[in-house]
Structure 1
């Protein structure tokens, strides 16, 4: 029988393992802190004005495009309702969660 060779890790391997572990936990903690700050901001907006915009400018544009391009889709009525709710919220609140300019909000129309 052949004796098993003991596994010996070099200093470079241990250094790489340490860097990977630190990087993993660093990114995880950063993501957690960022998410918690965003949620705190949402709660603050909801407490102050009872409503919050549900879509970013790009997402709302995509939703409008879907509604306009898919009139026969079974989900189009729900998409139209959600679009209109977001437009009403944006026009009825002073502060938004997403980066909306006043010009963008003024250009929005219900579907």
Structure 2
């Protein structure tokens, strides 16, 4: 590397090295955190499946959006598929004790099949 610096006549400034090393550390830090978070979520899902035989498939926000879509598109070809997915999640939420997503008891009690 020293010969490369001598032939080109330019050196990489220290600030560039610091930025490159910082970017590498930040990249690996974020990737490690994402991997840890994903693996712990998947482990929790597996535990719930072992305990209950199933888990809830949608979060409260997603269920609300899915219901809005179903009601707004009654003639869409995928409407029946969406209703089946919605109803399956409602049924699951009424059967299991501990949901994966953060559902309050009130939210779960208010859910009705379409």
Shorter-chain TM range is: over 0.9
Choose the corresponding residue for 1:20, options 14, 23, 40. Answer: 23
2:76 aligns with: 73
Runs of 5+ consecutive residues of structure 1 not aligned to the other structure: none
> May I ask how many residue pairs the two structures share in their alignment?
108
CA-atom RMSD in angstroms: 0.9
1:39 aligns with: 42
Runs of 4+ in 1 over 4 A off after TM superposition: none
Q: How far 1:5 moved relative to its partner? A: 3.0
Residues 5-58 of structure 1: CA deviation (Å, up to 9, x unaligned): 344111111001000000000000100000000000000000000010000000
More helix per residue: 2
Distance in 2 between the 1:108 and 1:57 partners?
A: 10
TM-score for the superposition, normalised by structure 1? 0.94
Choose the corresponding residue for 1:91, options 90, 94, 97. Answer: 94
